């Protein structure tokens, strides 16, 4: 996923490329609207993605035909709902290349990380222990570790990045060696949500495992953009969110090695996560049910499965090439504008271009672009340590999806130039 440096001479969708972006766009009704009198250019995909009709229809179909609760009902609708829910678990398992019994449904990546922090790592932590993260993590992959470390008297350590936004693997190795057998977890994002840096997660896992350290990978930004083979990565836990993967909000999944899940107590107690209950005590169900207390987001799993099936039906190599070309085009267009500075220039980068504009706060950039129908994200992107590393309070962030076009890249650049004109920058 290396960003090319040569100028994109002709938009891929206009050059008869294998990936038919217009056919894909036709499946996303949310893209076909105007904002402030301009055609919508949706470049906020790292925050949440638009939904294809297949996802919308899957959720609607559940509400119209199959609304019921799962597992214990014996009537037809309950059986349909259960089949939908467990079928979705199988779809997630196929997507990641794992066993369905190792897939836990969560509200998203954030809850998944909290579950691992609370149920796997917290029981192991004692004063003087360590958890390692990186400077590029989303707050969801920092704060849960801070909480459990604070409770146990353990230390959270962060591995630095260089001026391009690339993780310092030598510093990681030094942290692992220094921590020794006191390091209880290494948590790392697959792709940075702030800069788009793609971490060499397989190499990172190998390094950690050589020191006996388990690894959690935050895949929230990866699953929408690349095939993920958990066995190839070799990690111990992998988490992602539905809403960034063309699916509904409030649903996601955690994969964990079976032996780890077996060792973990539940984070929440309630219905459906038990084998038996008495006032003398409770026997918990086996994983993954142990971690899915209460009525889950059944309709969300229907939409998530539809989203993953939608992705599986595409030529992922062609999608990846299309997105790489978009990022390369956007990086070149923005860097060519005087006063615009890219933040994060890792050679292996996916889907995201962060930038600042001299004399204009990122929030003002976002507001002016919105007035022209261009939707980007402006702020610290729940990655304040990364922002501080680059000496900025916020960036403007354009994040791309498979339905974006080169014409939209040009609309982005034109809108940034318009913002400079308005501010006299």
- Fold classification of 56-312 (topology level): 3.40.640
Query: Using CA atoms, how far apart are residues 146 and 141, in angstroms rounded to an integer?
Result: 9
Q: What's the token pair of residue 340? A: 């615009």
Task: Give catalytic residues, as residue numbers.
Answer: 382
* Residue 358, CA distances (Å) to 132, 195, 384, 420 in order: 35, 19, 20, 9
* CATH number for the domain whose boundaries are 12-32+315-423: 3.90.1150.10
Measured N-to-C along each axis, helices 362-371 and 406-423 cross at an angle, to the nearest 10 degrees, of 120
**What is the predicted pLDDT for the residue at 6?**
33
Peptide bond into 288 cis (omega under 30): yes
User: pLDDT tens digits, residue range 39-62?
Assistant: 999 999 999 999 999 999 999 999
Regions of the chain with pLDDT less than 50: 1-16
**What is the predicted pLDDT for the residue at 15?**
38
| Residue 274 phi, psi dihedral angles, 5° rounding | -120, 160
Domains of the chain, by residue range, sit at 12-32+315-423, 56-312
Strand pairing category for 252-256 and 274-278:
unpaired
pTM: 0.95
**What is the predicted pLDDT for the residue at 12?**
41
**What is the predicted pLDDT for the residue at 300?**
98
Angle at 123 (CA atoms; ends 217, 185), nearest 5 degrees: 30
What lies within 8 Å, CB to CB, of 211 at 6+ separation is: 176, 177, 179, 180, 183
One-character DSSP codes across 176-244 = HHHHGGGEEEEEEESB-TTT-BB--HHHHHHHHHHTT--EEEE-TTTTTTS---HHHHT-SEEEEESTT
Q: What's the token pair of residue 79? A: 């059986």
Residue for token pair 């993920």: 228
**What is the predicted pLDDT for the residue at 72?**
86
Residue 202, burial from CB neighbour count under 10 angstroms (0-12, 13-18, 19+): middle
Query: Using CA atoms, how far apart are residues 271 and 420, in angstroms rounded to an integer?
Result: 56
Q: What's the token pair of residue 31? A: 């893209």
Strand pairing category for 183-189 and 215-218:
parallel
CB atoms within 10 A of CB 134: 27
Query: Using CA atoms, how far apart are residues 225 and 244, in angstroms rounded to an integer?
Result: 10
CB atoms within 10 A of CB 136: 28
């Amino acid at each position: 996923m290396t960003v090319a440096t040569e100028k994109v001479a002709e938009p891929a969708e206009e050059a008869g490329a294998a990936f038919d972006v217009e056919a894909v766009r036709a499946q996303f009704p949310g893209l076909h609207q105007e904002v402030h009198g301009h055609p919508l250019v949706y470049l906020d995909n790292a925050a949440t993605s638009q939904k294809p009709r297949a996802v919308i229809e899957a959720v609607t179909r559940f509400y119209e035909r199959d609304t019921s609760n799962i597992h214990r009902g014996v009537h037809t609708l309950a059986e349909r709902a259960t089949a939908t829910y467990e079928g979705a678990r199988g779809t997630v398992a196929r997507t990641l290349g794992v066993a369905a019994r190792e897939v836990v449904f969560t509200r998203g990546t954030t809850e998944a990380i909290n579950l691992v922090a609370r149920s796997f790592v917290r029981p192991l932590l004692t004063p003087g222990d360590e958890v390692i993260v990186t400077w590029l993590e989303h707050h969801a992959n920092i704060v849960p570790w801070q909480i459990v470390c604070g409770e146990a008297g353990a230390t959270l350590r962060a591995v630095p990045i260089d001026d391009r936004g690339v993780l310092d693997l030598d510093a990681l190795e030094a942290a692992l060696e220094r921590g020794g057998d006191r390091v209880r977890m290494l948590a790392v994002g697959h792709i940075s949500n702030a800069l788009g840096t793609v971490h060499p997660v397989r190499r990172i896992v190998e390094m950690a495992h050589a020191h006996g350290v388990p690894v959690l990978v935050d895949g929230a930004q990866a699953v929408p953009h690349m095939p993920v083979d958990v066995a190839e990565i070799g990690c111990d836990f992998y988490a992602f969110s539905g809403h960034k993967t063309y699916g509904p909000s409030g649903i996601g999944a955690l994969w964990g090695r079976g032996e780890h899940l077996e060792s973990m107590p539940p984070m929440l107690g309630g219905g459906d996560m038990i084998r038996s209950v008495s006032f003398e005590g409770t026997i918990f169900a086996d994983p993954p049910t142990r971690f899915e207390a209460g009525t889950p987001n059944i309709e969300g799993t229907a939409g998530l499965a539809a989203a993953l099936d939608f992705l599986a039906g595409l030529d992922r190599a062609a999608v990846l090439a299309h997105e790489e070309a978009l990022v390369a085009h956007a990086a070149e267009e923005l860097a060519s504008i005087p006063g615009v500075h890219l933040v994060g220039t890792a050679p292996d980068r996916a889907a995201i271009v962060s930038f600042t504009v001299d004399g204009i706060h990122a929030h003002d950039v976002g507001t002016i672009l919105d007035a022209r129908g261009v939707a980007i994200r402006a702020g610290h992107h729940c990655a304040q340590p990364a922002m501080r590393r680059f000496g900025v309070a916020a960036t403007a962030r354009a994040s791309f999806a498979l339905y974006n076009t080169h014409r939209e890249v040009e609309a982005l650049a034109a809108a940034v130039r318009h913002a400079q004109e308005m501010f006299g920058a």
